């Protein structure tokens, strides 16, 4: 990763700021928030077809962020509006798959504007937002813990417990039977204290480039503590179909 990436920290959540005529998507890192994309509502919000299309465009834009592994999503909208709830209702009615299974996403609404850098800076510094991030990511990491425990007890899939093993399957695409890498999981403590930071950051970047999910998890969470017990870094594999 570049020096700029170091200053950002690691990804913790996605933030969707919905206004009357557009939405702004942000990636929230442990240190800053980075603007990703703006989605325009082409038409009247009171037109069901236009609103449906707007929400679908939001979902499509979130897909790439979800594929990277971060599945905590904060949805913000101004006070005295129901924009966030309308979007959450759309997900429940048309994309319920996002709310099910061990790899489900966790959506949490919050009151506030998140359309401009100054608005996001103000919102992310509030106690309410910080607590919501903690609560949302806690739910997400509980889902990850369930995935980890299932893989540890699944004889058909392999869990790799070292940086070297993870590199073997991710960088060199070494075949381990018909297994392929699905998830690279490590704690923030492992990342910060590793004597091989450059190798770890390089592996994370290549993981992202190859479309393999990765997640840096707070070592103090339940899932983080479990990963610490396993060495601080694990790579989950699955049978290649």
pLDDT in tens, the chain (241 residues): 444 444 677 888 999 999 999 999 999 988 889 999 999 999 999 999 999 999 999 999 998 788 877 889 999 999 999 999 999 999 999 999 998 876 688 999 999 999 999 999 999 999 999 999 888 888 887 888 888 888 888 877 788 999 999 998 898 765 555 788 889 999 999 999 999 989 999 999 999 888 898 999 989 888 889 999 999 999 998 877 6
CATH topology of domain 154-239: 60s Ribosomal Protein L30; Chain: A; (3.30.1330)
Helix, strand, or coil here: 123?
helix
Residue at token pair 């919501």: 132
CB 40, CB 97: distance < 8 Å: no
| The token pair that represents 17 in the structure block | 């700021």
pLDDT of residue 6: 47
Instruction: Reply yes or no on domain 3-142 having CATH 3.20.20.70.
Output: no
CATH 3.30.420.60 range(s) for the chain read 3-142
Note if the pTM is more than 0.85: no
CATH 3.30.1330.30 range(s) for the chain read 154-239
CB 159, CB 236: distance < 8 Å: yes
């Amino acid at each position: 990763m570049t020096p700029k990436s170091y200053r950002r920290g690691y990804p913790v959540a996605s933030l969707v700021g919905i206004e009357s005529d557009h939405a702004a998507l942000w990636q929230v890192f442990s240190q800053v928030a980075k603007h990703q994309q703006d989605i325009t509502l082409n038409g009247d919000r009171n037109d069901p077809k236009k609103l449906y299309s707007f929400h679908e465009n939001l979902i499509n834009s979130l897909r790439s962020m979800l594929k990277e592994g971060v599945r905590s999503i904060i949805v913000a909208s101004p006070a005295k509006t129901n924009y966030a709830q309308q979007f959450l209702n759309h997900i429940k009615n048309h994309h319920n798959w996002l709310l099910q299974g061990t790899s489900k996403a966790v959506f949490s609404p919050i009151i506030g504007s998140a359309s401009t850098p100054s608005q996001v800076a103000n919102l992310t510094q509030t106690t309410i937002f910080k607590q919501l991030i903690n609560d949302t990511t806690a739910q997400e990491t509980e889902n990850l813990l369930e995935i980890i425990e299932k893989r540890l007890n699944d004889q058909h899939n392999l869990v790799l417990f070292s940086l070297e093993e993870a590199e073997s399957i991710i960088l060199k695409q070494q075949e381990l039977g018909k297994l392929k890498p699905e998830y690279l999981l490590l704690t923030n403590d492992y990342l910060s204290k590793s004597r091989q930071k450059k190798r770890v950051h390089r592996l994370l970047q290549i993981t992202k480039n190859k479309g393999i999910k990765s997640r840096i998890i707070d070592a103090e969470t339940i899932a983080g503590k479990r990963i610490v017990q396993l060495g601080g870094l694990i790579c989950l594999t699955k049978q290649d179909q």
